[in-house]
């Protein structure tokens, strides 16, 4: 389709083929083949009309009238070839990418938290409950979970730190599953209508914005804890803040790459 | 013929057209129009999903070739397609024969006894059944 030169203005056949291209579903090969078939069909019909003495524009209009609307060629009802379905798919892909990457970032925070726990201890990772807010039964449960602890507070800190690391690891694993689903769906929904339903780099920009806000939020918490509690419990927001900042940078780089690729394609 | 009515028989028509020799999409439509004296008038684009579906079902096979300077997908009937055509054509002939017999009998009555046309009961106004009470 793209000959490297500008399309002639008002070419009805080219307009029709553009609409068909964004409505076709299937593998890239199926899309290319159907497009080639239909283009050959339309060019034949136009040539026939012109041979019968029609002006080119009339012959094109007649050829398009005979072939019917785009959904006649796609074989699907018009509602299924509408942009709304493609948009829904694109939004699903965007949510899967942003959500999956976010969960993986939390998993990364968990790994970082484990490192911080090993280096700085449980008091750095979590804040103990104030005295009087927990019962003897709570203490017994925490001590049973960490028999090596010498006090209730130490066992409580170990329990809380363990919970945080466990939940972060679970989020990371869930994120990997979501990203795997994203890759499968992206391959399945590789039609042009879906890939162009949202502006280039939307997912990356959204991910960078959300992760950036999360990074600022958690790092502000770190500053607050440093000031108010002198570093107690800083580990959790610090690991989450660093992971969010890394995710924001990765998304920002992805966004820049998308823009650059789009500019190259346009050129 | 209405496009909706035709769609139900499109597979059979396409198999039949391609049984006379391989052809590309535009050629198939041209042949279909020529053989039906222009009676089968449906949006030409509808043949492509049908051709692709028949190919997916193994009834057609396609190859790419350059014809008259354009790259074209040439469809031809497979052995399974020939068998399906024979089967569907036999079914259609049986159905068509039955329809013709029913319609033929009605047409004969309408022509032979114009009263059938008058009120749809087969009885003209004021006509009594033979042997009925006076």
pLDDT at B85 over 90: yes
Q: What is the DSSP string of A92-103?
A: HHHHHHHHHHHH
B111: confidence class by pLDDT, cuts 50, 70, 90? low
Verify whether the Cβ–Cβ distance A72 to B25 is below 8 Å.
no
* A43 interfaces chain B, CB cutoff of 8 Å: yes
Give contacts of A34 with chain B, Cβ < 8 Å.
Answer: 48, 52
Distances (CA, A) of B49 to A234, B14, B22: 62, 12, 18
Q: Which residues of A108-133 are buried (b: 16+ CB within 10 A; e: fewer)?
A: bbbebbbebbeeeebbbbbebeeeee
Calculate how close chain B gets to A75, using CA atoms only, in Å. 5
Calculate how close chain A gets to B79, using CA atoms only, in Å. 24
* Per-residue pLDDT at A127: 81
pLDDT at B129 over 50: no
pTM: 0.48
* Per-residue pLDDT at B13: 92
3-class DSSP string for A171-200: HHHHHHHHHHHHHHHHHHCCCHHHHCCCCC
Among A37, A43, A72, select the one facing B43 at the smallest CB separation: A72
Q: What pLDDT, in 10s, does the model give residues B59-70?
A: 999 999 988 788
- Token reading at A200: 């280039």
What's chain B's average pLDDT?
79
* Per-residue pLDDT at A129: 82
Q: What pLDDT, in 10s, does the model give residues A129-169?
A: 877 788 888 888 888 888 787 888 888 888 888 888 999 99
* Per-residue pLDDT at B133: 37
- Token reading at A255: 């966004």
* Per-residue pLDDT at A10: 58
B113: confidence class by pLDDT, cuts 50, 70, 90? low
Regions in chain A scoring below 70 on pLDDT: 1-10, 76-84, 192-193, 265-267
What is the average pLDDT across B83-112?
Answer: 82
* Per-residue pLDDT at B126: 44
3-state class (DSSP) for residue B59: coil
* Per-residue pLDDT at A230: 77
Answer with the residue of higher pLDDT: B106 or A248. Answer: A248
B116: confidence class by pLDDT, cuts 50, 70, 90? low
Give contacts of A49 with chain B, Cβ < 8 Å.
Answer: none
What is the average pLDDT across B96-103?
Answer: 86
ipTM for the assembly: 0.71
Verify whether the Cβ–Cβ distance B71 to A40 is below 8 Å.
yes
* Per-residue pLDDT at A4: 43
3-state class (DSSP) for residue B71: strand
Calculate how close chain A gets to B84, using CA atoms only, in Å. 22
* Per-residue pLDDT at B106: 66
């Amino acid at each position: 389709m793209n000959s490297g030169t500008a399309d002639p203005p008002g070419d009805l056949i080219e307009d029709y083929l553009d609409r068909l291209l964004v409505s076709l579903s299937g593998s890239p090969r199926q899309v290319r083949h159907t497009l080639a078939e239909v283009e050959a069909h339309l060019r034949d019909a136009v040539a026939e009309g012109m041979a019968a003495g029609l002006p080119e524009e009339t012959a094109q209009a007649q050829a398009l009238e005979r072939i019917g609307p785009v959904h006649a060629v796609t074989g699907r009802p018009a509602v299924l070839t509408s942009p709304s379905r493609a948009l829904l798919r694109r939004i699903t892909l965007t949510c899967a990418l942003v959500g999956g990457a976010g969960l993986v970032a939390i998993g990364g925070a968990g790994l970082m938290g484990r490192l911080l726990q090993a280096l700085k201890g449980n008091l750095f990772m979590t804040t103990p409950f104030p005295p009087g807010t927990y019962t003897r039964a709570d203490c017994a449960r925490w001590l049973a979970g960490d028999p090596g602890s010498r006090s209730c507070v130490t066992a409580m800190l170990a329990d809380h730190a363990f919970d945080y690391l466990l939940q972060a690891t679970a989020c990371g694993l869930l994120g990997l599953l979501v990203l795997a689903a994203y890759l499968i769906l992206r391959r399945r929904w590789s039609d042009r209508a879906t890939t162009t339903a949202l502006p280039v780099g939307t997912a990356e920009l959204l991910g960078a914005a959300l992760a950036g806000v999360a990074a600022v939020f958690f790092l502000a918490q770190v500053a607050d804890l440093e000031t108010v509690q002198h570093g107690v419990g800083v580990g959790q927001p610090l690991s989450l803040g660093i992971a969010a900042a890394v995710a924001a940078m990765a998304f920002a780089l992805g966004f820049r790459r998308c823009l650059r690729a789009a500019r190259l394609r346009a050129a | 013929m209405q496009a909706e009515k035709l769609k139900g028989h499109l597979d059979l028509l396409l198999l039949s057209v391609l049984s006379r020799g391989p052809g590309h999409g535009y050629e198939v439509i041209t042949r279909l129009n020529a053989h039906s004296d222009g009676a089968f008038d449906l949006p030409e684009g509808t043949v492509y999903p049908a051709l692709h579906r028949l190919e997916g079902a193994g009834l057609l096979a396609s190859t790419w070739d350059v014809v008259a300077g354009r790259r074209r997908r040439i469809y031809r009937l497979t052995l399974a397609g020939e068998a399906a055509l024979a089967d569907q054509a036999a079914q259609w002939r049986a159905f068509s024969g039955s329809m013709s017999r029913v319609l033929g009998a009605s047409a004969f009555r309408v022509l032979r006894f114009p009263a059938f046309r008058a009120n749809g009961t087969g009885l003209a106004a004021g006509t009594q059944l033979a042997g009925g009470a006076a």
